Structure 1
Amino acid sequence: MPTRWICKGVARDPDFQVRRLGTDQVAGFACTRWRAQKVQEPEVDGTELCLAADGAVLRSRVRRQGMTEMMKAVRVEYGLLDPVLFVPPREWPVQR
């Protein structure tokens, strides 16, 4: 999903403020840095993302009420995944 679609969805929500912070590089890939925060949040709180052109999240940092959660890609590999990875276990109920 391209970066513009992700950010436009949040940017249209009147409860959020979204700013482009610039560009960076994570795990050898270029990414665009974004900051999103609720309008009523303190300035220190919010979410910063570094998104690749295809929408892959390469880095994120979320700050809320004095706590910080961080994620950063250390290696990125593009390719097809084995369809078996998406088959639910047999014992899971199927809802139709």
Structure 2
Amino acid sequence: MDLREVARDPDFQVTRLGTDQVAGIACTRWRVREVQKPAEDGTEFCLAADGVMLRSQTRRQGMTEMMEAVRVEYGPLDPALFVPPRDWPMQR
């Protein structure tokens, strides 16, 4: 589910908080919360124009979890990153 789909869901409240910059990249700050949860609970995202999440901060039951990009590099990824380990069970 992307942010547009969440915004259409009546169970969620989506608020645009403004703009910021993370790892040298401009981003838009958003806050998403479930309406049935306490008002202080929810997640704030900072999304780049291309949709890359640069920062996320989630508050739930008095606990806060935060992730933030410190460096962003665009370019092709090595296909070997997507090969499962040799002994990984496969289903077809």
Q: TM-score range by the shorter chain?
A: over 0.9
Matching residue of 1:39? 35
Tell me by how many angstroms 1:84 deviates.
0.5
* TM-score normalised to structure 1 length: 0.91
Shift of 1:53: 0.8
- Return the structure number with greater relative CO, CA threshold 8 A, min gap 6: 1
Q: 1:20 aligns with which of 7, 16, 19?
A: 16
1:67 aligns with 2:60: no
- Paired residue for 1:11? 7
- Residues of 2 paired with 1:92 and 1:61: CA distance? 33
Alpha-carbon distance between aligned partners in 1 of 2:80 and 2:20, rounded to the nearest angstrom:
35
Task: Return 5+ residue gaps in structure 1 as ranges.
Answer: none
Number of aligned residue pairs: 92
CA contact (8 A) 1:47 1:60 kept: yes
Query: Cα distance, 1:6 vs. partner?
Result: 2.5
Aligned to 1:84, which of 68, 80, 85? 80
1:48 to 44, 48, 68: 44
Query: Does residue 94 in structure 1 map to residue 68 in structure 2?
Result: no
Q: For 2:5 and 2:51, locate their aligned partners in 1 and report how far apart those are by CA, in whole Å.
A: 13
Q: Percent identity of the aligned residues? A: 75
Contact 1:6–1:55 (8 Å) recurs in 2? no
* CA distances 1:7-53 after superposition (whole Å, capped 9, x unpaired): 11111211100011111100000000000000012121110000001
Structure 2's unaligned 5+ residue stretches are: none
What SS is found at the alignment partner of 2:2?
Answer: helix
Find the aligned partners of 2:5 and 2:54 in 1 and give their Cα distance.
Answer: 19
Aligned-residue RMSD, C-alpha: 1.1
4+ residue stretches of structure 1 with deviation over 4 A? none
